[in-house]
Amino acid sequence: MLYEVDKKHRERLIPLFAQMHDTMIRSCLEGHMGSALADDLDAPTVAQIVVGDFVFLAGDVKSKAARKLLEGIPLGKLVITQNEEWKAQIEELYKECAVKVTRYAFKQDPNFLKCEHLKSLIENLAEEYELKRMEGDLLKNASLHALSEDFTAQFDSLEDFEKRGRGYCILYKGQVVCGASSYSIYNGGLEIEVDTHPSHRRKGLATVATAALILECLEEGIYPSYDAAHLASVGVAQKLGYQLERPYDTYIINKRL
């Protein structure tokens, strides 16, 4: 049987996820956001964490409880596992229904991020665009949420985002066409979400918006973690100063067998 793990008991899951360093795991274990399942609330042997579009699996993959977790993986989300054994079980169970997707992790070292360099990137914004912080009435701008609900979706409300999150967006004729925000938060840091309207891509907007967010984080002693979904995003990250650590596998489960 699997149990929902409330915030006050999530610290018991820490040993299971000790080998996994994704910041969204910390977001959940520290009680900021997300949900968790485990086979036992006192002495868990397997667990699942869900934060937004991401699912994390860890523990004794050979146990009956692990099988239940695997069979109940939420559809359409990115699944990240503790080790190769979990991957093998996903591929064996779901076969062609499990689509492997490569993502890219970066070294989490603030020394690679230089404030003067970030300021110079921000200065490259073309005159027809306007850079603004995500706050106040701008958070209610329909074009912001039409571009990506993920800018604020992991927070309880827009008011909660304004209190605990942060972000910057770029406007064109009053419409949000690019943004960079805190997809998730953890103690002392955040995970960056970036998106640009298709009509305004390849103009350096993502670099500018993200540079503004990173600069604010560094000035306030918060680490801005970056993880890339594709090579174009890798290029943006490297332009900002991040150094690639490794590509890694994720899975999307399309349907049940």
Averaged pLDDT, 201-205: 95
In a domain, 79, yes or no: yes
Residue 194 banded pLDDT, cuts 50, 70, 90: very high
* 48 and 136 part of one domain: no
* 121 and 231 part of one domain: yes
* 99 and 160 part of one domain: no
Residue 167 banded pLDDT, cuts 50, 70, 90: very high
In a domain, 254, yes or no: no
Q: What is the pLDDT of residues 33-59, one digit of tens each?
A: 999 999 999 999 999 999 999 999 999
pLDDT in the model for residue 257: 72
Residue 207: which CATH number?
A: 3.40.630.30
Asked if 180 and 152 count as a contact pair (C-beta separation under 8 A), the reply is no
Give the per-residue SS3 of the chain: CCEECCHHHHHHHHHHHCCCCCHHHHHHHCCCCCEEEECCCCCCCEEEEEECCEEEEEECCCCHHHHHHHHCCCCCCEEEECCHHHHHHHHHHHHHHEEEEEEEEECCCHHHCCHHHHHHHHCCCCCCCEEEECCHHHHHCHHHHHHCHHHCCCCCCHHHHHHHCCEEEEEECCEEEEEEEEEEEECCEEEEEEEECHHHCCCCHHHHHHHHHHHHHHHCCCEEECEECCHHHHHHHHHHCCCEEEEEEEEEECCCC
* 83 and 187 part of one domain: no
* 90 and 131 part of one domain: no
Structural domain boundaries enclosing 186: 108-241
In angstroms, the CA 26 to CA 33 distance is 9
* 67 and 168 part of one domain: no
pLDDT in the model for residue 256: 79
* 237 and 132 part of one domain: yes
| Domain-terminating residue out of 104, 121, 136 | 104
Residue 17: which CATH number?
A: 3.40.630.110
> Would you tell me how many other CB atoms lie within 10 Å of the CB of residue 27?
26
In a domain, 119, yes or no: yes
In a domain, 43, yes or no: yes
* 64 and 153 part of one domain: no
* 146 and 203 part of one domain: yes
Averaged pLDDT, 107-132: 97
Task: Write the single-letter amino acid at 163.
Answer: K
Work out the widest C-alpha separation in the chain, in whole angstroms: 60
* 75 and 130 part of one domain: no
In angstroms, the CA 94 to CA 177 distance is 38
Integer CA distances (angstroms), 73 to 17, 107, 181, 207, 241, in order: 17, 28, 27, 34, 35
Q: Which of 77, 36, 91 is nearest to 58 (CA)?
A: 36
Residues of the chain with pLDDT > 90, as a percent, come to: 98
In a domain, 257, yes or no: no
Residues of the chain with pLDDT > 70, as a percent, come to: 100
Integer CA distances (angstroms), 39 to 3, 13, 19, 171, in order: 6, 11, 19, 47
Q: What is the pLDDT of residues 123-153, one digit of tens each?
A: 999 999 999 999 999 999 999 999 999 999 9
* DSSP strand pairing (78-81 vs 54-59): parallel
In angstroms, the CA 210 to CA 122 distance is 9
| Domain-terminating residue out of 70, 104, 138 | 104
In a domain, 35, yes or no: yes
| Domain-terminating residue out of 104, 126, 154 | 104
* 115 and 96 part of one domain: no
pLDDT in the model for residue 57: 98
Tally of structural domains, the chain: 2
Residue 186 banded pLDDT, cuts 50, 70, 90: very high
* 69 and 144 part of one domain: no
In a domain, 253, yes or no: no
Q: Which residues contact 15 (CB under 8 A, 6 or more apart)?
A: none
In a domain, 135, yes or no: yes
